[in-house]
C-alpha cells in the first residue's frame, strides 16, 4: 500500500512547499493535498526504477503542415515498474525534484539514451528540465552541453525545449539556459506557449528557434484566443522563428493549423508514425540490439 505523504509534505518550510507546488502545477498536476500526493510514485519505486534503469524512449513525429512529411522527432521519456506497468513521466519527475542529484542523474541518462537511439531525421527535439540544466553547471562547463556536443551531427539540428511559465524567476533562468544553449550552437524551442499560465518575454521568444503552441489553442477556439494566436504567429514570423502546434488529433485540427499558416504540427493524428523503444536503458547492457517498433 502506498504511503500518504500529505502530513510530511505540509510540514515542509514555506519556500520548499511553494517550490514543490509550482513544479506540480507546471507539470499539469494540481497540488490539492492527499489525493494528489497519492498519485506520486513511492520513493522505493523511484529508486528501484533508477537502479534497474527501467526507462526508455518514445519518439513522436514533427510533421510539416503543408507537405505532411516528417521533418523531425521529439524524444519523450518513458518509465515502468518491475511488473511492467507504466509510470507517468510527469509524476515521476515531480517526485525526483525532491532529490536534485537523482534528478540530474536520471536526466543525463535519459538524454544520452534519446540521443543514441534517435531516428535519422533533420530535427531532434529534447525536453530538458531547467532545474536539471542548472544542476549540471560546473566550474568550466555544463554537463548537458558537453553531452549534446558529444552526439552533435552535421546532418541533424538538435533543439532543446524550454518551458515559459508564471514565475519571473523561472523566466530569468530560462533566459540563461537559452543563452548557454544558443552559444553552444543548439536550437531552442519555447514550449507550451499559451495565454494562461505563461509569461512571454521578448528575449526568450526572439532567441528561440521554434515556438510550440499547446493543445489548449485547439480546445478553446474563442474569437479572442484565435486573434491572440494569430498575433503570436505573426510575431514569430517577425523574429524568424518557426511555429509548431501540439495536440493535433483530427484532420480538422490539421486544417486549422494550415489555415493559420503554422509551420509544423504534432499529435495523435500521426500515431502510426510514433517510434517506441522495446527496450530500456538496462537492455543496452546486453549484446543484442534493441528493436524499434511503432507505438
pLDDT at position 169: 57
pLDDT at position 252: 97
Residues of the chain predicted below pLDDT 50:
1-21, 23-38, 165-166, 278, 286-295
pLDDT at position 2: 35
Work out the angle between the directed axes of helices 100-116 and 143-150 (0-180°, nearest 10). 10
pLDDT at position 198: 56
pLDDT at position 267: 96
Tell me which architecture the domain covering 54-85+93-294 has in CATH: Alpha-Beta Barrel (3.20)
pLDDT at position 17: 46
Residue that is written with C-alpha cell 502530513 in the block: 7
pLDDT at position 258: 97
Please state whether beta strands 157-163 and 123-127 pair in parallel, antiparallel, or not at all (unpaired): parallel
Amino acid at each position: 500500500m502506498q504511503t500518504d505523504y500529505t502530513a510530511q509534505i505540509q510540514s515542509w518550510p514555506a519556500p520548499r512547499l511553494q517550490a514543490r507546488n509550482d513544479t506540480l502545477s507546471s507539470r499539469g498536476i494540481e497540488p490539492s493535498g492527499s489525493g494528489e500526493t497519492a498519485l506520486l510514485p513511492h520513493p522505493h519505486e523511484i529508486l528501484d526504477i533508477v537502479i534497474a534503469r527501467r526507462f526508455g524512449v518514445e519518439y513522436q513525429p514533427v510533421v510539416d503542415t503543408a507537405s505532411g512529411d516528417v521533418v523531425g522527432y521529439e524524444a519523450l521519456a518513458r518509465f515502468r515498474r518491475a511488473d511492467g506497468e507504466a509510470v507517468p513521466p510527469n509524476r515521476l519527475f515531480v517526485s525526483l525534484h525532491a532529490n536534485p542529484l537523482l534528478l540530474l542523474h536520471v536526466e543525463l541518462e535519459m538524454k544520452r539514451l534519446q540521443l543514441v537511439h534517435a531516428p535519422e531525421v533533420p530535427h531532434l527535439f529534447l525536453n530538458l528540465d531547467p532545474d536539471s540544466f542548472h544542476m549540471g553547471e560546473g566550474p568550466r562547463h555544463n554537463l548537458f552541453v558537453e553531452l549534446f556536443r558529444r552526439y552533435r551531427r552535421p546532418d541533424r539540428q538538435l533543439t532543446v525545449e524550454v518551458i515559459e511559465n508564471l514565475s519571473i524567476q523561472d523566466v530569468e533562468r530560462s533566459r540563461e539556459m537559452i543563452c548557454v544553449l544558443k552559444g553552444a550552437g543548439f536550437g531552442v524551442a519555447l514550449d507550451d506557449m499559451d495565454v494562461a499560465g505563461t509569461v512571454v518575454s521578448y528575449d526568450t521568444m526572439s532567441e528561440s528557434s521554434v515556438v510550440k503552441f499547446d493543445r489548449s489553442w485547439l480546445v478553446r477556439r474563442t474569437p479572442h484566443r484565435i486573434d491572440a494566436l494569430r498575433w503570436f504567429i505573426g510575431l514569430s514570423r517577425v523574429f524568424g522563428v518557426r511555429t509548431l502546434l501540439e495536440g493535433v488529433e483530427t484532420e480538422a485540427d490539421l486544417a486549422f493549423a494550415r489555415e493559420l499558416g503554422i509551420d509544423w504540427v504534432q499529435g495523435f493524428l500521426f500515431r502510426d508514425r510514433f517510434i517506441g523503444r522495446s527496450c530500456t536503458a538496462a537492455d543496452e547492457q546486453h549484446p543484442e540490439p534493441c528493436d524499434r517498433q511503432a507505438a
